[in-house]
Amino acid sequence: MKKYILFFVIVISNILFLNNTFAQGGMWLPNQLDRNQKDMMSKGCHISAKQIYDEQNASIKDAVVLFGRGCTGEFVSNQGLLFTNHHCGYSEIVKHSTVDHDYLTNGFAAMSLDEELPCPGLTVTLLQYMKDVTSDVLSGVSSSMTEKERQMKVNENIKNIVENTTKGTNLDGYVKALYYGNQYMLYVNKIYKDVRLVVAPPSNIGKFGGDTDNWMWPRHTGDFSVFRVYADANNEPAEYSKNNKPYQPKKFLKISLKDKNEGDFTFVMGYPGTTQQFLTSYAVEDIQNIEDPARIKLRTERLNVYKSAQEESPAKRLRYASDVASIANGWKKWQGEVKGLKFLNAVEKKRQGELNNPLMSQFYELYNDNRKYKLEQLYIGEAVLASDFMYNTRRLLSLIDLSMDNTVTDIVLKTEADNLLSWLDKYYNNDFASHRGVDSMIFVRTMTIFYNDFAKDNYNFLHDKLNKMPIEDYFADIYKTSVLNNPEKIRKVLKDYKRKNYKKLIDDSAVEFLSPIWGQYVNSTREKLTQNNNKLDSLYRINTKHYIDEYNRHNNTKDMSMNNGIFPDANLTMRVTYGNIASFKPKDGITYRHYTTIAGIMEKEEPNIYDYVVEQKLKDIYYNNDIAPYSDRVAFIATNHTTGGNSGSPVMDADGNLIGLNFDRNWEGTMSDILYDKDLCRNITLDIRYCLLIIDKYLEAKNLINELELVK
């Protein structure tokens, strides 16, 4: 009886928890979308789940790809033409840009197939099918196994499943855990390796608003780029070859030129990277109060250094552009996340749902124990290895370690030293003379924060030295005296490297400094983290199963994998999310309209501020009203639940026609990775008509427009 009462209390609190934290949003498994069909129809969808995902017949899934390793793209012609975001194609565009052909700044459009630019290393992954393999993965796993034994058995089974599926084929496969290992899904893919750059808008369009507007609505960024996938004579994946032909997809998306209104149904298919909706209150509290603030503080420092360097010259602005873009992206997102979590009272909401849950004390203990190690890992990434100086020192450390290890042969040692030497040669020859000032500042400033906020209390070995002088001087001194800042000297040590040369390195100031910190991290902290994380994983597995069972009991449903109930966290596999175009209220008294127009670009224009320069040609198009058959709309927002990795994803209308490219979220809603809120969270989509306007009227690539199938 007592047991029954306890259980009842848990049920009640869990339902509360479920309602609080899973009521809206969702990144659904495409092969189980029939479970969402009714809900999708009620929101305005006109097509069936089978038209979106079908393994027998061509369906929308055949038009959607994993672009590179962390973005999404979609086919828009029967000749393998592929749309994605500008920020997803950014590094390829940069690689093809030179002073003479500055495609990054001026834009680029191939007027014929032979003008398209190969992108070695870039891949496009096409999902063939996915399959629930839970029982195969768990075969031989028993409840008496330790977490480690379980993991070994699971890994062994996964290896066999993948091997049996792909051996002797051109397929690639992997198995991913869902719901912390309550379910396992096999994904079978073809990976296309000949991908070519077709269109890049000028930066003033593709990155308009830059980091200032990033993560913000209202938005006016023309965030698109175009690629083409090539295949061999049989339409199969092949390495780059002049003889390859444009890939003919089983399905490509038609493009709608119609206006979209508030309330219209939209859905997004793509590759969302990571969400953490099952986190307990303890984890959310740490993210909100400790981890995000520490990251933000360290990155603020780095950004300040880079930004003041950028102000010195246009060359330096370019030199640090991509570093700043990626550092600022996380920096700004975490600030939004903290604000959003606080606004939603996320910790309290989670706590309410955890009342009387007997697992909570174990979670508490584990998070308490893990906090220090997690922070150490965070500081290693965001501070200790933030400067090139320390990154290079770490490479030096591993050479020293290898030299002291007698099982390592002289040949291996020499290869390592040669690799490091050629890396450093490039580093020194690049712009070391001007960059070292910036890098040393990054080193001194991040290390000072690291020392004051973390190391002081956690590393005894630093105290003696630091008692003797001001910390900043101490770090500046390390920088000045290290052999890594004396290119001639380090080159001499590394050239024709002999084992005993390491003795010339071990007393180096940087090596002496980093060695104990790195040593502790590698030899002790990482192991503790793995142990704790394994324990947490197994607790989360039990807890998540528990929530799902409660949900099923409450809703009279049976299936473990609750599509249209509790979705499995994003894990960079194909998902579908759906919602409606919707304005939102960021603050009391303000409503943000659901779309922006070119008028807003003209409003934002600031000829002297890099992010807000507007090209004359765009003004001509706009003021001459040379817009038909497209539109003056630039972007729109909707309630689709998206995350990093969804960039470039097709946003489609009720009929499955392409209406835009997903590229961001609103700042007020960036906590959606942890807790989604339908009133606050919006995905930001580039209106496909702005993309076509730029390709057609600005870049004048009619050849590409002719390939598309437009629906009026």
CB of 537 to ligand ASP, least distance (A): 25
Name the binder of 210 from ligand ASP, ligand ARG, none, CB < 5-8 A by kind: ligand ARG
Q: Among the options 256, 482, 647, 672, which is catalytic?
A: 647
Name the binder of 325 from ligand ARG, ligand ASP, none, CB < 5-8 A by kind: ligand ARG
* Alpha carbon distance 710, 83 (integer Å): 15
Strand ranges (E), 162-208: 172-178, 183-192, 194-200
Closest listed residue to residue 360, CA positions, set 277, 284, 281: 281
Q: What track of x and - describes contact with ligand ASP for positions 641 through 680 (by CB under 6 A)? A: -xxxxxx---------------xxx---------------
| Catalytic residue flag (residue 361) | no
* Alpha carbon distance 362, 352 (integer Å): 17
Tokens of 214: 């990033």
CB of 691 to ligand ASP, least distance (A): 16
Name the binder of 196 from ligand ARG, ligand ASP, none, CB < 5-8 A by kind: none
| For ligand ASP, the closer CB: 445 or 665 | 665
Name the binder of 544 from ligand ARG, ligand ASP, none, CB < 5-8 A by kind: none
* Alpha carbon distance 697, 222 (integer Å): 14
Task: Decide if 87 contacts 191 (C-beta within 8 A).
Answer: no
| For ligand ASP, the closer CB: 36 or 646 | 646
Name the binder of 248 from ligand ARG, ligand ASP, none, CB < 5-8 A by kind: none
Strand ranges (E), 232-330: 245-246, 255-256, 265-270
Tokens of 185: 């899904």
Closest listed residue to residue 70, CA positions, set 326, 323, 305, 254: 326
Residues from 628 through 647 that contact ligand ASP (CB under 6 A)? 642-647
CB of 122 to ligand ASP, least distance (A): 16
Residue type, position 464, single letter: D
Tokens of 111: 């007027």
Tokens of 378: 């965070």
Q: Tell how strand 255-256 and strand 710-711 pair up.
A: parallel
Name the binder of 646 from ligand ARG, ligand ASP, none, CB < 5-8 A by kind: ligand ASP
| For ligand ASP, the closer CB: 178 or 268 | 268
| For ligand ASP, the closer CB: 249 or 644 | 644
CB of 590 to ligand ARG, least distance (A): 22
Name the binder of 182 from ligand ARG, ligand ASP, none, CB < 5-8 A by kind: none
- List the Cα angle 368/369/372 in 5-degree steps: 95
Query: CB-side exposure of 399: number of CA atoms within 13 Å?
Result: 30
Backbone region of residue 710 per phi and psi (left: phi > 0; alpha: psi in -120 to 50; beta: other values): beta
How is residue 298 annotated by DSSP? Answer: H
Among 31, 501, 647, 672, binds ligand ARG (CB under 6 A): 647
CB of 662 to ligand ARG, least distance (A): 10
Helix residue ranges, H only, 451-573: 456-458, 463-467, 471-481, 487-494, 509-520, 526-555
Sign of the CA dihedral with 648 first, then 90, 644, and 615 last:
negative
* Alpha carbon distance 426, 398 (integer Å): 19
Long-range contacts of 168-172 (CB under 8 A, 24+ apart): 170/236, 170/237, 171/128, 172/125
Task: Decide if 619 contacts 697 (C-beta within 8 A).
Answer: no
CB of 651 to ligand ARG, least distance (A): 15
Residues from 56 through 115 that contact ligand ARG (CB under 6 A)? 87
Q: Among the options 86, 87, 220, 594, which is catalytic?
A: 87
Tokens of 173: 């496969």
Q: How far is CA 303 from the centre of its chain?
A: 20
Among 237, 644, 650, 669, binds ligand ARG (CB under 6 A): 644
Q: What track of x and - describes contact with ligand ARG for positions 176 through 215 (by CB under 6 A)? A: ----------------------------------xx--xx
Name the binder of 643 from ligand ASP, ligand ARG, none, CB < 5-8 A by kind: ligand ASP
| For ligand ASP, the closer CB: 550 or 677 | 677
Task: Decide if 223 contacts 660 (C-beta within 8 A).
Answer: no
Four-point Cα dihedral 339, 385, 450, 276, nearest 10: 30
CB of 643 to ligand ARG, least distance (A): 9
Q: Among the options 223, 569, 653, 687, which is catalytic?
A: 223
CB of 328 to ligand ARG, least distance (A): 6
CB of 337 to ligand ASP, least distance (A): 11
| For ligand ASP, the closer CB: 268 or 390 | 268
Closest listed residue to residue 661, CA positions, set 222, 281, 47, 310: 222
| For ligand ARG, the closer CB: 74 or 550 | 74
| Catalytic residue flag (residue 87) | yes
How is residue 437 annotated by DSSP? Answer: H
| Residue 221 is a binding residue for ligand ASP (CB under 6 A) | no
* Alpha carbon distance 370, 379 (integer Å): 14
**Residues that contact ligand ARG, how many (by CB under 6 A):** 11
End-to-end CA distance of the chain: 66
| Residue 525 is a binding residue for ligand ARG (CB under 6 A) | no
Sign of the CA dihedral with 66 first, then 69, 334, and 323 last:
negative
| Residue 664 is a binding residue for ligand ARG (CB under 6 A) | yes
Residue type, position 426, single letter: K
Residues from 310 through 329 that contact ligand ARG (CB under 6 A)? 325, 328-329
CB of 336 to ligand ASP, least distance (A): 11
Tell the burial category of 147 from Cβ atoms under 10 Å away from its Cβ (0-12, 13-18, 19+): middle
| For ligand ARG, the closer CB: 51 or 646 | 646
Catalytic residues: 87, 223, 647
**Contact residues for ligand ASP (CB under 6 A)?**
642-647, 663-665
Query: Can you give the binding site for ligand ARG, defined by CB under 6 A?
Result: 87, 210-211, 214-215, 325, 328-329, 644, 647, 664
